[in-house]
Chain A
Amino acid sequence: MTDYSQKYQMTPVVGWLLKDRGGMILLTILIAAAILVPIGNLLVPETSSFHVPTWMLSLLGKYLCYALLALSVDLIWGFCGILSLGHGAFFALGGYAMGMYLMRQIGDRGVYGNPELPDFMVFLNWTELPWYWYGFDMFWFAIVMAMFVPGLLAFVFGFLAFRSRVTGVYLSIITQAMTYALLLAFFRNDMGFGGNNGLTDFKDLLGYSLQSDGTRAGLFVASCVFLGICYIVARGITQSRLGKVLIAIRDAESRVRFTGYRVEYYKLFVFTISAVMAGIAGALYVPQVGIINPGEFAPALSIEIVIWVAVGGRGTLYGAVLGAFIVNYAKTFFTGVMPDFWLFFLGGLFIAVTLLLPKGVIGAVPAFGAPDRQSILSSMRKRLSAGGKA
């Protein structure tokens, strides 16, 4: 083996991470936020201008979960061309898994004081816990389920769809149908997930009160950490030969088939990974907002995720994170100041980005807009020589 390949084998992960400038910036911001924001909330006195109020901490934590969700969509849409308009379903399923654990944590502190059954089951005159609620009193089990259930659904759904070669707009439509079907199912009281009201009135997580600042800060840090880990995993996938195959599938699917790759397995792999990430995002989201209900399955929400990615910049991963923050901050702002205008603004934003910034906000930044360093350098040289002449 030559020096060439040995060098690559010794430092594969560090090597490509250092070359990924946008990723390094993102990870640096996440680490800084994970340290500074909790300090600003817990240690800096409220009178100081550096104090981070709890509402802001929770809001940022919520945005981080959305950012992770956007990342998961960019992984499949930006890199493999799978436009899922049902990713909210995987997010909501992860959220429900966490919500079930939080419901069991309430114990006998509910309105009806039943130590075994959540309030809504007592209200429905149920006498015992349904089998699928077993195990959710254990934190680790809920976490595993928050990843396993979305992953399993994506695997089965993807197996059927990709094997039948459903692609493009047809795939988008059936993902919408999937999340809509789940929306209707979870609305039913008989499903045993709280029906219309969903799961709420949570008290504590692992024994720590969800109302305390310390727990909220902990959830914020966890959101930063998981977003960072999932970013590295997603970047690792896109950097590998597998990632190159995914991009090839996006650009010329039949060529990939005739080159001997089983396209459906590649799609299935990345779709399942993406769904697991969306599930993690949902599990982190629910304790921070204190409720999960079937509204999270709404098809419109899944479409909104795609807009976050498009606004930030598709196919970059960090662009998706940026897009989630920009659009959700705008949403918080508009729904507070002039709620009637939010949807007009969202629609306008989507049209404006599609027309004016096809590569998203990230694409408008010169250092990230160009596809590789070579063309950045040549365009810089052109600019310099043009400047010299003038």
Chain B
Amino acid sequence: MSEAMDIKPDAQVKSARAETILYVDGVSVTFDGFRALNNLSFYVEPGELRAIIGPNGAGKTTMMDIITGKTRPDTGDVLFKSETDLTKLDEADIANLGIGRKFQKPTVFESHTVFDNLLLACSGGRGVFKALFHRLSSAEKIKIEKTLITIMLDEKRDELAANLSHGQKQWLEIGMLLMQEPELLLVDEPVAGMTDSETEETAKLLRTIAKEYSVVVVEHDMEFVRDLDCKVTVLHEGSVLAEGRLDHVQKDPRVIEVYLGR
């Protein structure tokens, strides 16, 4: 009896997996009795720009933690490029697979220059002895130069990261993600604490980046999400409440009730 029933969902899962870069299915996690994620499922297609919104405590950061290996789910599957099971790997493994993560609070290496921050994030050579004998190659230098221009920090290259403004630190961190040559970027509240013009610049930056990479953005700021002009997933109490274009989602009565209406 069970065989016949098992085949069907399995086949569905397989077809959904086939063209995803990130596949999250039935993920639940509980901290001390608090259910942070409750049967969370969604998937992201290659090259997609996706915004994830939701009120505080909806599980957005926990979801990031699970995808990047910081937290292990109690149940559920998390697949990268339809094949790699992320729940079995640690942070460094996942980063080297090509998943970059930007923290909510800008986290850069403050005692290093902007240039060195990008150098450290540069893909390749993560081994201890490789790092000990590493010499800057011209290819790496060109790559860093290119990223400096993309993140609008070319003039600040020799400045210590500690001396950057809040917004510039956010850009530097995004630049560090680009240096890792990721296939999927997870960006947690990139415009928190930014000025309006910085917010606009950041939206432009992310849209440019999304042309080359798959990007998942977690954000509170509705204006900013509108600027991103992409598919939106609404989280609530650890699971997906609604999904679609922002206009469509904003009309959903359940969304209005839990989040937008308030």
Contact = CB atoms under 8 A, between A and B. Distances in A.
Interface of A: 1-2, 4-5, 8-9, 12, 237, 240-242, 244-245, 247-248, 250-252, 254-263, 265-266, 269, 371-372, 374
Contacts of A250: 111
B107 to A, nearest CB: 4
Interface string B124-138: 011110011111111
Contact of A4 (B100, B103, B121, B138): B138
Interface stretch (B5-13, B71-79, B90-98, B204-212): B90-98
Contact of B132 (A242, A257, A372): A242
B131 A255 contact: no
A254 B91 CA distance: 9
Contacts of A254: 70, 91, 103, 107
Contact of A245 (B70, B120, B133): B120
A387 B6 CA distance: 84
Nearest to B142: A2
B107 A257 contact: no
**Range of interface residues on chain B?**
35 or more
Given A259-B95, A260-B92, A261-B92, A252 B135 contact: no
Nearest to B140: A5
A257 B126 CA distance: 11
Binding site of B, secondary structure by majority: helix, strand, loop or mixed? Answer: loop
Contacts of B133: 240
Given A2-B138, A242-B128, A255 B95 contact: no
Contacts of A248: 109, 112, 120
A243 B150 CA distance: 27
Given A240-B131, A258-B101, A5 B176 contact: no
B95 A258 contact: yes
B68 interface: yes
A252 B128 contact: no
B110 interface: yes
A258 B112 contact: no
Given A5-B136, A5-B138, A254-B91, 15 more contacts: A1-B138, A4-B141, A242-B131, A244-B109, A244-B116, A244-B119, A247-B111, A252-B108, A256-B120, A258-B95, A258-B100, A260-B92, A260-B126, A265-B127, A269-B128
